[in-house]
Structure 1
Amino acid sequence: MALQISATNPEHPAVLLELPWHLPLEEWPEEHLVPLPRGISRHVVRYARAGDEVVAVKELARRPALREYELLRDLDRLGIPAVDALAVVTGRTGAAGGPLEAVLITRHLGGSMPYRSMFETTMRPATMHRLMDALAVLLVRLHLAGFAWGDCSLSNTLFRRDAGAYAAYLVDAETGELHPRLSDGQRDYDLDLARVNISGELLDLEASGALHPSVDPIEFGTEICARYHGLWRELTRTSVYPAGKYHYIERRIRRLNDLGFDVAEMQIEHSSNGDTVTFVPKVVDAGHHQRQLLRLTGLDTEENQARRLLNDLESWMATQDDHAPGDPLTARPEVLAHRWVREVFRPTVRAVPPGLRGAMDPAEIYHQLLEHRWYLSERAQHDIGLDTAVEDYVKNILPGLPQTAGAQTPGAKPPGAPASE
């Protein structure tokens, strides 16, 4: 069989032809390779330079190579975090004319690291918890798309930190299966494999002295199950909110926050029966909300204030007709964010008389008003709106606040607010 290169981009075959396909992958000369850290794999894997790109090259049998190539392309079409499949090379022959295994080529995920490289510095438990959360998010998203991984593990995942956000990416789809919908049994099987694999990998790290002494490998393996189940319940529970009940949407966001996740994307579908809301979660690092709010709006706030304002901004953007996530023809988030500052944030803050603000800065005022609206809406069982919340806050809450009100802990309930559920 002649050498064949099946590629997603017509420009790739010409570049890939320069690589030494007549040699087994483990014999490739250093001049073609890029010294990047590699994870554990049952196959030979190397990083190589192909033109201006760095690619991961994995050697395996022809049929699984073609199958994994198609599965990775399917995941890309579904918007699932996974490595990009670039090409499959088949029909390879050695210098003596003997057949060589096929090769799957994926794009190197910039800024990512295999878990063993990340644990070389004895990672802190708090960071490990965030990585487990990121893996739980990935597994939930795969299952929502109907993809049964069949071998979820730290070894088959790459982790990337981007502007404070932790994300997990599927690397190995060889054992995966794509279905229209997964049964509870298929999901439970995947989750049990993840628990066993992760505990085993952490035990291996413990034996090598690379695991923080306070980390229990068995407990961490079990933790992903709890995180998965909590996130799955919150994301798959279908809710249709009647018009004027937007505080229900905020309730869902708060529950995701309580689980340790934030809303990366929110979509609201309008219908005659009400508004159906879809959330996409993410895992963030400390200070992420401050940086994101500053980038989008120019507002420099405390972290809890920024989280609260970003949730309000996201909810507001989702209701705008010119906002469609992923559509390049619609208004960019930065444009909408500045419109929110001009049309919502500033007018609301200015509605509070300066003489009653005390030591509170504009971000804290707006934060407190959002909290007050939330509690009033919960009590009234419908969204009372910002104008009503401002009027009640100015009349009934602000006069009783000390002049050092700005010293309250951001995120604390405003005085006089009713208890939440």
Structure 2
Amino acid sequence: MADLFGSQTPAEPTAGHRPLADRLRPRSLGEVIGQDQVLGPDGPLTAMLTSGALSSLIFWGPPGVGKTTIARLLAHETDLHFVQISAIFTGVPDLKKVFEAARIRRQNGQGTLLFVDEIHRFNKAQQDGFLPHMEDGTILLVGATTENPSFELNAAVLSRSQVLVLERLPLRDLERLAQRAEQEMQRPLPLDGPAREALLQMADGDGRALLNLIEQVSAWTVEGKLDTATLSKRLMRRAAQYDKGGDAHFNLISALHKSVRGSDPDAALYWFARMLEGGEDPRYLARRITRMAVEDIGLADPQAQAVCLQGWETYERLGSPEGELALAQAVTYLALAPKSNAAYAAYKAARREARRTGSEPPPKHILNAPTSMMKDQGYGAGYAYDHDAEDGFSGQDYFPEAIKRPVLYVPVERGFERELKKRLDYFVKLRAKRGE
């Protein structure tokens, strides 16, 4: 971690090895590779710098995409003193020292850009502590987080800041970074074309990880160029970004759910596999795909729920990795099944109607009357026994007498629900006939 009181420019090491990532650190915003949506001609940071009105910022993005570098360069280009702290290592006494130093600095005519790494790790009280210093101009806050700010940061901090999303670097930007590294090292990487592309993919959108990989490769003594197979033996692929309790978890389960709903088995299996590769608990996936069967397929294919439950049970009996195949088969079945959320929509509508009507009692004709007093009150009087009625359907109204009969279940013309719609239409005609 940097010194709590920071420095306008980082001191250059006078001896020893400097990592490639440090040697390639950009000296201006124009040298930053990627993040055009933020730093491009029409980007918000460019507009702020042009107008001279830089506000407090929250950088939200995965590791290795330039959050710290951009913050440092912003301080340099706006003549603000740069102070860097990490929420992991900084306590309340440290924060008080930072704020006091910034106050003194401000009295002497210089502002402070306070960069807070992992800002989401500060609790609510600690986050509230930034507010008065942001409001009176003692500090310009730039926070960095890998978690969704909407969930992790106080509303008060967010209302005083602009959230900028920094994205993982695509292959084209990673290639530019690799070329810059080769220029710095004054030699090309000893890789053939496919191996070079494999190296870029190993970085998984993380520029810092790519430079570390390049530094490893450049240290090898090899003859000629290495192919993909040899590279894979010498280097381990960077683990995919996946936090089972964080934003990536919810993003991937959303992608899986929407792929199933969109009847795309290939995409559904891909996201299912991505979650397994990230270390997700297969039991969590079993529960979620069963929910998909109930929510998005429903009565269009009543067998879908059974397929999920059978896959879940198979997994419990076989365990990993064999049991995961049963879950994959369930995912494939769901993606190809006819879709209907009619029962789900009817359920939600019924809950709304139940809340609206409160404690309205059932009509007396469908109430049991086990005592003579209840019979005297009219309980059960006029009840029509459906088995005795023509077509086995009496057509009676079973809703409370005080409410108008609503229509809650509207089946679709897909799958088995097409047959249910025919039955429902038939009962509507019989009910109308009974009411004549």
Q: TM class by shorter-chain length?
A: under 0.3
Q: Which has the higher helix share?
A: 2
TM-score by length of 2: 0.26
Report the structure number with the largest CA radius of gyration.
2
TM-score of the superposition, structure 1-length normalised? Answer: 0.27
